[in-house]
Amino acid sequence: MRTNEEIRKTVELSGVRYWEIASRLNIHEANLCRKLRRELSADEKDEILSIVRMLREERERALANA
């Protein structure tokens, strides 16, 4: 099993890109990928999953308004 599997699956299913998450965290995409190599704390996971949900909702609203 890969580290941070829940985050990776959620990102994959959501259509959100890792660079978008990194941008919201104010870090470079490469740094986010490095962070995911080791299991994150519950707080860090919650923060990233919250960003993924927010980005997905923003994308859905934009598509609905188009």
Q: Specify the pLDDT at position 1.
A: 73
Query: What are the tokens at 58?
Result: 């923003």
Q: Specify the pLDDT at position 20.
A: 98
Q: Specify the pLDDT at position 66.
A: 78
Query: What are the tokens at 11?
Result: 């990102």
What does each of the 66 residues of the chain score in pLDDT, given as a tens digit?
Answer: 789 999 999 999 999 999 999 999 999 999 999 999 999 999 999 999 999 999 999 999 999 987
Please classify residue 10 by burial: count the beta carbons closer than 10 Å to its beta carbon, then call 0-12 exposed, 13-18 middle and 19+ buried.
Answer: middle
